Amino acid sequence: MSNLVNKIIAYLNRKPDFTSEVILQNDTGTDYIKEWNVDEAQPTEAQLNALESQADDMETLNQVYANRQAEYPSVQDLVVALYDTDDKTAIDEKRAEIKLKYPKPGA
């Protein structure tokens, strides 16, 4: 998919309750919007770039959370740790290690 297609998808996904039809064309070697049949004004390049950047940030953050979730202790381990101080300390240390291993973007 082209960069323009990704930007338009991000733009339209922010308001999924309206119908739209966007026709792209590529007869110059670069994608461009040929028709914009949407119930609102066509976005500027700056607006599309901002939305694409936000989508990229969310994708990165979701991947961080998925990586952490895969390595965090199980719910059963957490329940056991509630009754054992040593287990709780070990779990706290493991979670801290995982957070260092998979930091949030910009943190």
Q: pLDDT tens across 30-59, in order?
A: 777 788 777 778 888 888 778 778 878 888
Looking up residue 48, the CATH number of its domain turns out to be 3.30.56
The whole-number pLDDT of residue 27 equals 82
Cβ(28)–Cβ(1) below 8 Å: no
Domain assignment of residue 67, yes or no: no
Q: What is the 8-class DSSP label of residue 30?
A: S
Range of the domain at 18: 1-62
Shared domain for 79 and 58, answered yes or no, is no
With a cut of 80, say whether residue 63 has pLDDT above it.
yes
In angstroms, the first-to-last Cα distance of the chain is 30
How confident is the model over 69-75, as a mean pLDDT? 92
Give, in order, the Cα–Cα distances in Å from 1 to each of 4, 12, 31.
8, 16, 10
Query: What's the whole-model pTM score?
Result: 0.54
The whole-number pLDDT of residue 1 equals 47
